[in-house]
Amino acid sequence: MKLTTREIILCGLFAALISILAQISIPLPFTTVPLTLQVFGIAITGLILGYKCGFIATLIYLILGGIGIPVFAQFSGGIGVLFGPTGGFLLGYPLMAFIIGYVREKFQSQILTAISMVVGLAIIYTSGTIMFSFVTGNTIIQSLLYCVVPFVAVDLLKLVLATVIGETVNKRIFSSLNLAK
């Protein structure tokens, strides 16, 4: 797979954007999973960059955090975060960006794109819940109640916001620069 210079730059910029959005974090008293804008960042990355570059941008983000650069929520980083209680959520991000970008590029349907965003969210919830349960010893039900249920409404709102912003960016900026997918 060969990337253009423009694609490489966009992948780096969006990895940086996800890193910044991860720092907009609200610790919640009832869970170790903070409320962040990472889901928004992953969704908008897939929407704007498409499946190939969206996947690569999120991988760059995970690699940066995995080697210890504090790009994850609350300025954390390291391999321990990737394989800790909340690491499953992080590990689901590239697949979410890929699915959203693929559907957006191949079908050009807002309904299918919205469905792909919900499917991507379900994937990160699933991988996150399984890893949280495995690492902490909680049951799947306990993990869902602890790590997913409190976030569903807010995450769906983030997806709506990502759709609005992503479509606006694609129409106004990338179209005028002849960069649209």
pLDDT at 61: 98
- Whether residue 136 lies inside any domain: the answer is yes
Supply the pLDDT for residue 172: 81
Q: Is residue 163 in some structural domain? A: yes
Burial 34-50 (b: 16+ CB within 10 A, else e): bbbbbbbbbbbbbbbbb
Residue 179 lies inside a defined structural domain of this protein: no
Is the separation of the CB atoms in 163 and 47 below 8 Å?
yes
- At 181 the pLDDT is 47
Query: Does 65 fall in a domain?
Result: yes
Please check whether residue 84 lies inside any domain of the structure.
yes
CA quadruple 72, 74, 79, 82: dihedral sign: negative
Residue 115 belongs to domain with CATH number: 1.10.1760.20
- In-domain check, residue 50: yes
pLDDT score of 30: 76
pLDDT at 151: 94
Alpha-carbon distance 25 to 76, whole Å?
12
Q: H-helix or E-strand containing 145? A: helix 140-147
* pLDDT at residue number 178: 57
Q: Please report whether residue 30 resides in a domain.
A: yes
Coil, strand or helix at 94: helix
The model scores a pTM over 0.85: yes
Q: What is the pLDDT of residue 173?
A: 72
Q: How many domains, in total, are found in the chain?
A: 1
Residues 134, 135, 137, 143: is their CA dihedral positive or negative? negative
Indicate the DSSP class of residue 70. Answer: S
On whether the CB atoms of residues 67 and 54 are closer than 8 A, the answer is no
All residue ranges of the chain with pLDDT < 70 are 174-181
CB count within 10 Å of CB 61 equals 29
> Quick check: is 53 in a domain?
yes
Please name which of 149, 58, 153 lies closest in space to residue 101, comparing C-alpha atoms: 58
What is d(CA 41, CA 36) in angstroms, rounded to the nearest whole number? 10
Query: Which residue segment(s) compose the domain that 131 sits in?
Result: 5-174
